Amino acid sequence: MPLRPELTNASVPLLDEVEVVDELGHARAVHIPGERPLTVYLDKRELVTLMTLGGAPEALVLGYLRNQRLVGSIEDIASVQVDWETESAAVTTRAGIPDLDEKTAHRTVTTGCGQGTVFGSLMDEIDAVHLPPEARITQTTLYRVVDTIRLQQSIYKQAGSVHGCALFDAQGELLMFIEDVGRHNAVDAIAGRMWLEDMAGGDKVFYTTGRLTSEMVIKGAQMGIPFLLSRSGVTQMGYRMAQRVNLSLFARCTGRHFLLYTGRERFIAEPGMAAVVGPRGELPQPAESGR
For residues 1-12, one letter each, b for 16 or more C-beta atoms within 10 angstroms of the residue's C-beta and e for the rest, the string is: eeeebebeebee
Whether 127 maps to a domain, the answer reads: no
Whether 82 maps to a domain, the answer reads: yes
Give the pLDDT of residue 118.
56
**Looking at the structure, do residues 69 and 154 belong to the same domain, yes or no?**
no
CA dist 77 and 32 (Å) reads 34
**Looking at the structure, do residues 115 and 193 belong to the same domain, yes or no?**
no
User: Among this protein's residues, is 165 annotated catalytic?
Assistant: no
How does pLDDT run across 33-83, given as a tens digit for each residue? 999 999 999 999 999 999 999 999 999 999 999 999 899 899 999 999 999
**Looking at the structure, do residues 269 and 167 belong to the same domain, yes or no?**
yes
**Looking at the structure, do residues 192 and 112 belong to the same domain, yes or no?**
no
Give the pLDDT of residue 183.
86
**Looking at the structure, do residues 22 and 73 belong to the same domain, yes or no?**
yes
CA dist 248 and 260 (Å) reads 7
**Looking at the structure, do residues 223 and 262 belong to the same domain, yes or no?**
yes
CA dist 170 and 45 (Å) reads 40
CA dist 82 and 268 (Å) reads 44
Give the pLDDT of residue 120.
54
CATH number at residue 232: 3.40.140.10
CA dist 138 and 250 (Å) reads 12
**Looking at the structure, do residues 261 and 149 belong to the same domain, yes or no?**
yes
Helices (H) and strands (E) in the chain, counts: 8, 17
Report the 10 Å Cβ neighbour count for 73: 11
Report the 10 Å Cβ neighbour count for 104: 18
Tell me the C-alpha to C-alpha distance, in Å, between residue 261 and each of 3, 65, 96, 235, 238.
Answer: 40, 29, 41, 11, 10
CATH number at residue 35: 3.10.20.10
Q: Please name the residues in contact with 286: beta carbons below 8 A apart, sequence gap of 6 or more.
A: none
Angle, helices 214-222/57-67, rounded to nearest 10 degrees = 90
CA dist 85 and 244 (Å) reads 43
**Looking at the structure, do residues 259 and 148 belong to the same domain, yes or no?**
yes
CA dist 148 and 86 (Å) reads 37
Cα dihedral 32, 154, 65, 92 in deg (nearest 10): 70
- Return the amino acid letter for 97: I
Tell me the C-alpha to C-alpha distance, in Å, between residue 213 and each of 23, 183, 187, 204, 217.
Answer: 36, 11, 13, 19, 6
Whether 131 maps to a domain, the answer reads: no
Q: Which domain holds residue 42?
A: 6-120
CA 211 to chain centre: 12
Which residue positions in the chain have pLDDT lower than 50? 109, 111-114, 279-281, 286-291
Structurally, the chain folds into a number of domains equal to 2
Q: Please name the residues in contact with 285: beta carbons below 8 A apart, sequence gap of 6 or more.
A: none
**Looking at the structure, do residues 159 and 271 belong to the same domain, yes or no?**
yes
Give the pLDDT of residue 291.
35
Three-state SS at 189? helix
Write down the catalytic residue from 30, 113, 159, 260: 113
Give the pLDDT of residue 106.
59
Give the pLDDT of residue 138.
97
